[in-house]
Structure 1
Amino acid sequence: MSGKDDHIFKKFNLLRTPSGRMILKSGLLKDKKYSLFKHYLNESKKEYTGFVQRYKDGIYELIRSDSTPIDTHKAFIDEIGSPKELELEANQIAIVKEKINERTIINDRIERILNSNFVKMTYPVFFALFDGYSDKSNSHDRILRDNVIDGHLIAIDLSEPMDRIVDKDEDLDYLEDYKFLNPYILTLAKRKIREAGTEVFKEFEAGFMDALMGQKIDYEMKTNSLDLTYENLERSYKKYRSVLGTAGKNMCLNQKPLSEIYYIGMAKAAECVGCGNEIQDAIGTSGIKSPSWPLFYSTMTGDVKSGFKLTLEKSRSYLSEAYLALEMLEEDFKIKPYLEFLFLTVGHYNEFWYRELITKRVDLLTKFQHDLKIT
């Protein structure tokens, strides 16, 4: 309800899915689930401008104060496993820095990569998770809250330029700029998360490495150096569960048992959304993404319609595990109703895109089936 695809949450579209009808019912009754969801959505909208400004200012200061950008870039490439796709040559670094050194250009690039469903839909979730922890621990520290939320949101945003560079599917005129910005985005995220304490930062570091591993496996399947198998796909989904799961842990400052409960809920919800993304991407790009659950199941069954149906079922299995996390929370836990509503929106998102494909884009299913036979 706060991303680039707001239209899928309009009344007409909500009526078209089982989860959507439950969302409508909750909204009509104005029950606690709906009221809390609306509260955190509104609060995060008020705070979002401040977050964006802190993000822009932080990146500008890092770039302006960096006297050795070549070393900065090399250290980043080494840290993430030396992918050639993300690397700039030394002479390119000097050229891009001179171009991007102006605040207005940096601001423009940050705004472009912030235009992401992942970021926009995640911001209110982090607000709610931290508030739930604050209420339970009776600890309200706004600076700490901003640091831990900003840091994880900026780290999540790093996936946007990296994906655009590798996929080459949008912002083609800015990919060199993104390669230059990537190290500073990660540095800023780390700087902010480090302010939240040693245990929080250690958890972020471990989660970040897991996410990189998932991304590496994903890339190796894309380039056919790894086979498209069930096990490899599950491992590649670390790119979702490690990012959101780790952030979940750190929204309660990595304090058990709440950190484990938050991890399960966020990690499994993220994997669920990953399935929906793959269905949506198939419509948007007129092709089945490689690797993906739709491609795996279509290949296994020889039938693309079955492949997408099984992908929806896979998404529901992920979401059922997320709901299990809610069962571990006390009944009076402040944000439990919020999370129940949040998971309904996740279910509707996936159901909506599946229905769009099956009922409105039969032409695409025919094309996908033809492409599968050729492959």
Structure 2
Amino acid sequence: MSGKDESVTSKNSLMGTKSGKKIIRQAMFKSKGYRQFNQYKEEYETNFPEFARRFANDLLQQIKADSSPNTTQQKFGEEVGSTEIILDSSQIDPIKSKLERFDVLNDRVLRILNSNFVKMTFPVFNALFDASTEYFQDNKDPKLRENIVDGHIIAIDLSEPMDRIVDKDEDLDYLDDYKLMNPYILKLARDKIAKGGEQVLKQFEVGFKDARIGQYIDTKLKQNPTSITEKELDESYKKYRSVMGTAGSNMALSRKPLGEIFQIGMGKASESVGCGNEIEDSIRDKAIKIPSWPLYYSLLENDVRKGFDLTMKKSEAYLSGARKTLDSLPENFSHRNFLEFLFLTVEHYNEFWFKKLQKANIWSELAANLPK
């Protein structure tokens, strides 16, 4: 889910989609949604370097303090149910020694943070946390906000190195480094999320378990891509909705009604973004991702164009589900306009990549590269 093409948000790109034109219009008239979104975007841009340093420093302390890294690797492999994403015992010491240098570890951290998914998510979590604080009339607690947001960003970011290890499609020279880092990333996320209390940590663990199930199904489906069913693919999408849905709930410290509303809304929005990611990946690779909605529909219809048309309809259905949650928000909810604008950016993201695919005109290559 990397998505590193910043051209998505350029003025020319925004002018190229219906939703993008709506975004420009809101920016021109400085709508409330645009102003709120821009406020949190600017906060992210200002604070991100410090977050990255904090992430790298905390990770460094954990790596240095671990006297049994082999045990750590084995336990992580058992928890996620895969030996593919851990190191052989003979590899551990030299890699651990290398990553105990801050400059090296910081480079790896910045690589896995170089993701539009992270860039899109940071402002959202801060906004949801603030909205929850206002709704529940909590005392403002900047440190708690930092821990809860950081923890979930770090947990989501764990999917980046894990995906790269499994897919072997980027950062090939650093995959072993990521294998060593992964258990410490997870522990760091848990430690921060636990600051929100027992229920918040419990909610995270449930979501993380569901996401692992989704990732397992995703990996399993790669083995026999021509027989993927709609139900199986929907289950694999737990890797998106469980992680983001859980994070949404926990921005409200897992309290009703906002916790449930945020969980559904963020889960559905992430599934919609997942469709856009699959379209983007298909352009980059000139092959349809396995597994994915474009693959499922292309095989079902025996037509790659129809496959992507139906994928866009799927993304719209997911986004419609996210937008429906706005109807459940309490009256006078402070960040309703923010969420409306957020969902508009998701719509633009998907439209942008779909238009780029149409312009690329690589249908014959995509068809030729379909699994037989």
TM-score, structure 2 as length reference: 0.97
* Cα offsets for 1:184-203 (capped at 9, x unmatched): 00010001111110000000
The within-5 A match list for 1:341-356 is 341-356=341-356
* Cα offsets for 1:188-245 (capped at 9, x unmatched): 0001111110000000000000000000000000122894110000000000000000
| Contact 1:245-1:263 within 8 A present in 2 as well | yes
Shift of 1:278: 0.3
Partner of residue 111, structure 1: 110
Shift of 1:49: 2.1
Partner of residue 136, structure 2: 137
Partner of residue 368, structure 1: 366
Equivalent AA in structure 1 for residue 348 of structure 2: H
Equivalent AA in structure 2 for residue 68 of structure 1: S
Shift of 1:174: 0.7
The SS at the match of 1:86 is: coil
Equivalent AA in structure 2 for residue 63 of structure 1: I
Partner of residue 214, structure 1: 214
Q: Percent identity between the aligned chains? A: 51
| Contact 1:60-1:106 within 8 A present in 2 as well | yes
| Contact 1:217-1:226 within 8 A present in 2 as well | no
1:187 aligns with 2:170: no
Shift of 1:119: 1.0
Equivalent AA in structure 1 for residue 365 of structure 2: K
Partner of residue 127, structure 1: 126
* Misfit runs of 4+, over 4 Å: none
Equivalent AA in structure 2 for residue 332 of structure 1: N
Aligned length, in residue pairs: 369
* Distance in structure 2 (CA, Å) of the matches to 1:67 and 1:338: 46
The within-5 A match list for 1:8-87 is 8-81=8-81, 83-87=82-86
The within-5 A match list for 1:150-229 is 150-224=150-224, 227-229=227-229
* Distance in structure 2 (CA, Å) of the matches to 1:262 and 1:197: 18
* Distance in structure 2 (CA, Å) of the matches to 1:330 and 1:44: 27
Could you say what the CA RMSD is over the residues aligned between the two structures, in angstroms?
1.3
1:243 aligns with 2:243: yes
* Distance in structure 1 (CA, Å) of the matches to 2:60 and 2:5: 30
The SS at the match of 2:369 is: helix
The SS at the match of 2:334 is: coil
* Distance in structure 1 (CA, Å) of the matches to 2:13 and 2:119: 20
Partner of residue 100, structure 1: 99
| Contact 1:69-1:93 within 8 A present in 2 as well | yes
* Cα offsets for 1:138-168 (capped at 9, x unmatched): 2211111011111100001111111111111
Distance 1:168 1:335, change over 3 A: same
Give ranges in structure 1 of 5+ residues lacking alignment.
none
| Contact 1:241-1:268 within 8 A present in 2 as well | yes
* Distance in structure 1 (CA, Å) of the matches to 2:68 and 2:324: 49
Partner of residue 317, structure 2: 317
1:5 aligns with 2:10: no
* Distance in structure 2 (CA, Å) of the matches to 1:116 and 1:12: 21
* Distance in structure 1 (CA, Å) of the matches to 2:253 and 2:297: 38
Give ranges in structure 2 of 5+ residues lacking alignment.
none
Equivalent AA in structure 2 for residue 369 of structure 1: A
* Distance in structure 2 (CA, Å) of the matches to 1:241 and 1:226: 24
| Contact 1:220-1:226 within 8 A present in 2 as well | no
* Distance in structure 2 (CA, Å) of the matches to 1:288 and 1:128: 35
Equivalent AA in structure 2 for residue 122 of structure 1: T
